[in-house]
Amino acid sequence: MADTDTPRQVAESYWRAECAHDIPAILSHYHTDAVFIPPGKRLVGHDEIRTFYEESFRRFVGLDVTITHELSSGDRAAIEWKAVFTDAQGKTYDLFGINVIKVRDGKFEEVRCYFDPALLMG
């Protein structure tokens, strides 16, 4: 990631890493002191953020993400997405959400992720 990357470019690169289940690559998109706020949690720094992805990857063996809309202004963006999660039994879960992000020097400084986690329990 370059210092001049737009929030969307950082997000697209991050989702490629997430879909590949590549935790080191995912964390490379976050500053070491970044804040990640998924539903019901507030995670600060790589060690805490890593736990979210480890838990997700234990449960879901597949992931595909498509950006559906975006609103950007400078170093901030709201990116609407559609994701399809696949569990170990092959069951798929469609999930829609939005990430509100702030980037600094080509990496996430803050990510607020909004989605209904109950949809992943079906």
Could you give the number of structural domains in the chain?
1
Q: Domain span at residue 64?
A: 7-116
DSSP structural state of residue 50: H
Residue 70 lies in a domain: yes
DSSP structural state of residue 36: E
What's the CATH code of the domain at 81? 3.10.450.50
Q: What is the pLDDT of residue 5?
A: 86
What does the alpha-carbon distance between residue 101 and residue 108 come to, in Å, rounded to a whole number? 7
Residue 29 lies in a domain: yes
Of the candidates 15, 30, 25, the one whose C-alpha atom is nearest the C-alpha of residue 83 is 15
Around Cβ 84, how many Cβ atoms within 10 Å?
14
Distance of CA 42 to the CA centre of its chain: 14
Q: What is the pLDDT of residue 121?
A: 72
What does the alpha-carbon distance between residue 37 and residue 102 come to, in Å, rounded to a whole number? 12
From first to last of the 122 residues of the chain, give the pLDDT tens digit. Answer: 665 689 999 999 999 999 999 999 999 999 999 999 999 999 999 999 999 999 999 999 999 999 999 999 999 999 999 999 999 999 999 999 999 999 999 999 999 999 998 887 75
Residue 1 lies in a domain: no
